[in-house]
Amino acid sequence: MSKTTFRTALITGASAGLGAEYARRLAAAGTNLVLVARRLARLDDLARELREKHAVTVETLQADLATSDGIDRVEHRLAGDETLDLLVNNAGFTGGKSFVERDAAVHMDMVQVHVATTVRLSRAVLPGMVSRGRGAIINVASIAAWSAFSGPMYSGTKAFLVMFSENLQSELLGTGVCVQALCPGMTHTEFHEVANIDKAIVPKPFWMTAEEVVRISLRRLGRGVVCVPGWKNKVIAFLMRCPLTAAGIRAFSRLPAVRKRANR
């Protein structure tokens, strides 16, 4: 874990997967938590576990971040919190079907959750962090930010998170506040089951656990903006971005059989 210790962290999408793992690892380090998600019962179960095990303060906040009202609730909680020094923008979703097959409302929900939530919550916490001279924001993106296989909305919104994080960190140089764009590859969480994605498409050696991803994220916080956990994911990300290989990968992604499997 990063040598930096945090007093209070707010984590979105905290009821499962990477969000829950961030909560467990931070609580173990003595960080008080504000956990945000739609599923209040699961948040309360996790909060109870962390209070009993680590004797930290854990607050739960139910909010649907696909709605402006949901984002408003979290912004209101952030307002004036002098102890909050870590924001983890982890909430997200994906799914099968092509751009044309999915309703426009679903696409706009993705923009709300991945883009609008990240922008509004980051803007809400940064004035306090900058004035105190310390703090961090982790934006959970994905190696899909450079992928030709992950759909225009999912890849597009994750690409936004990478560029937003890189440029935001440039603005924050010298303030004591750091920004990370975490770009994991395939990670064992319930994310894929909820989206009805066939996990067998990706060979087992390319998968990582949530514990591995979060451990690397926190260890690398403040040591470069873009964090791609695992050497295999680093190779994949390089090949997708390298001009010598990116064109070939994109051409391969256009094959009908590949598109059919990607949209499952």
Report, as residue numbers or ranges, the catalytic residues. 154
Cα separation of 204 and 214, whole Å?
A: 19
Pairing outcome for strands 32-37 and 8-12:
parallel
- Cα 166 to Cα 55, 171, 174, 224, 226, distances in angstroms: 35, 9, 15, 9, 7
Scan for tokens 């499997």, then name that residue: 261
- Listing DSSP states for 148-209 in one string gives SSS-HHHHHHHHHHHHHHHHHHHHTTTTTEEEEEE---SEESTHHHHTT--GGGS-GGG-EE
